[in-house]
Amino acid sequence: MKTEFFKIKTAFSFGFLAFTSSTLFAENIIATKVNSSFEGIETSNIIKDLKFTEISVYPQKTIVLNDKSVAEKNSQNISKIIKVSAIYNDSDIAFVIKWQDRTLSIQEGYKTDIYGDGFAVQFPKDYSDPKKLPYIGMGSENREVLVHLQKAVPNIYEPNGNGNVELQISRNNTNYFDEELKQFDQNVSNLARIDYQKSFVSAGFRSLTEIKDDSAKVDMNMVYNHNYGCWKGTLSRKLKDEYINLNSPSFPVAFAIWDGDKNNRGGTKLLSSWQTVTLDGKTGGEVLVSEINNIQTGNLENGKAQFKANCIACHIAGEMKSAMSFMAPDLTNIGGYASSAYIRESIIDPNAVIVPGYNRNAHKNFEWYQIVDGKRISTMPSFSWLDENITNDIVSYVQTLKTQIKEEKK
């Protein structure tokens, strides 16, 4: 991340389209092939005239976190549209993500309760079976994901393990004055990492683990455009590394954004469902694209009736609040970030995807899973006995459970 990301005050030459609700159905992202390198891509000409795909991101509602201010500031959140473009060359792939955020938030200074804007890009480690992708919320057991995160947080002094303890004392505890003290301050500030860019592997929410060596090296940047009140994020990485191989005709990707002004961080975010990317010029990725973007058709009216009969005793979903809080994952926005295959799998085989979730002790009356012989067993019984048509109807209805898309004019 370039440190000037918050200093930029002039408009960029890329045309910013109004963020309106022209996208109702997921669209495939086509990565065009270029020959240039992706060095300095955030300001490079190669991303000037890209074609952007509109993608909806929805407020994460599955779990409720325990910060009062988050509840107050995010209760009215509806979905947002982000614009995504991708390019690739022989070795690398790059994404450009643009989203509107009229409140620039940077986590800086000696403060305890401010948060930075940010974005993340998630890839599944294995996408050979598009019906069994990792859980969208940072993967699931045996279905790992790789997450790249960039936050608007300059100057982080993480414990560096270099043993430079002489620079880790209070400046008041040094015996320096004047020039020597200035030099000490300078040496300390040189320890700062000015880029809050992290990569993680994860097998489910709560298991997220940072990759601290260089094995998942990426370049991420965030540039804020004051004229348009929007962020442009870039990510460039190798098509293939020891974690994932994206050198394939098509692959899934997911995006998340955080609004620091609304105290967004961690699970308080807006996220997309699994999206598909095809590498232009390669053939054979159609199955994955159609499977992931598949919209289940069915009788919505019957789906709703069946949903009410079978699901809402445990699950809260929008206005359907007969279930007790924390009893089961909240399905209010599930249609916004889950694929039809995932919804179907969860109904038929609830044990297929069980994420560690929040600490079970946080809501111990309703444990979402039990540990039996070292395996997580879902509290939810299987609904595989439902007639297939009924399941189809429920899946098609559950896909409609999502907040409206934000109508925001320029």
Partner 1 sequence: MSKRQLAMVMDLNKCIGCQTCTVACKTQWTNRNGREYMYWNNVETYPGKGYPKNWMELGGGFDASGDIKAGTIPNLEADYGVPWDYNYESLALGETMLPNVEPTWGPNWDEDVGTGSFPNDNYFFYIPRICNHCTNPSCLSACPRDAIFKRDQDGVVLVDLDRCQGYRFCIAGCPYKKIYFNPKISKSEKCILCFPRIEKGLPPACAQQCVGRIRFVGFLDDEDSQVHKLVNKYKVALPLRADYGTQPNVYYIPPTEAPVKFDAEGKIIEGSNRIPAEELEKLFGSEVHTVIKTIKSEIAKRKVTGKSEILDLLIAYQHSEMFRLDNNYYNNIAKSKGLNAVAPVDQRYLKGLNTKTVSHFSLNAGGGHH
- Positions touching partner 1 (CB under 8 A) are 65-69, 71, 107, 109-113, 153, 156-159, 168-170, 172-173, 196, 205-210, 212, 265-267, 325-326, 356, 358-359, 361-365
Minimum CB separation of residue 198 from partner 1 in Å reads 8
The residue among 138 and 230 lying less far from partner 1, judged by its C-beta, is 138
CA-to-CA distance for 8 and 226, rounded, in angstroms? Answer: 7
Minimum CB separation of residue 289 from partner 1 in Å reads 32
C-alpha to C-alpha distances, 159 to 182, 188, 192, 266, nearest whole angstrom:
22, 12, 10, 21
The residue among 253 and 355 lying less far from partner 1, judged by its C-beta, is 355
Minimum CB separation of residue 358 from partner 1 in Å reads 6
Note whether 193 and 218 are within 8 A (CB): no
Note whether 92 and 236 are within 8 A (CB): yes
C-alpha to C-alpha distances, 187 to 25, 174, 191, nearest whole angstrom:
53, 13, 7
Q: How far is CA 156 from the centre of its chain?
A: 22
The residue among 134 and 204 lying less far from partner 1, judged by its C-beta, is 204
The residue among 208 and 380 lying less far from partner 1, judged by its C-beta, is 208
Note whether 346 and 329 are within 8 A (CB): no
Minimum CB separation of residue 319 from partner 1 in Å reads 22
In the numeric block, which tokens belong to residue 50?
Answer: 């890209």
The residue among 191 and 300 lying less far from partner 1, judged by its C-beta, is 191
Minimum CB separation of residue 297 from partner 1 in Å reads 36
Residue with tokens 């692959």: 251
Minimum CB separation of residue 120 from partner 1 in Å reads 12
C-alpha to C-alpha distances, 343 to 14, 75, 261, 331, 380, nearest whole angstrom:
38, 25, 32, 11, 13
Q: Which of 349, 92, 70 is nearest to 246 (CA)?
A: 92
Minimum CB separation of residue 188 from partner 1 in Å reads 9
CA-to-CA distance for 144 and 128, rounded, in angstroms? Answer: 13
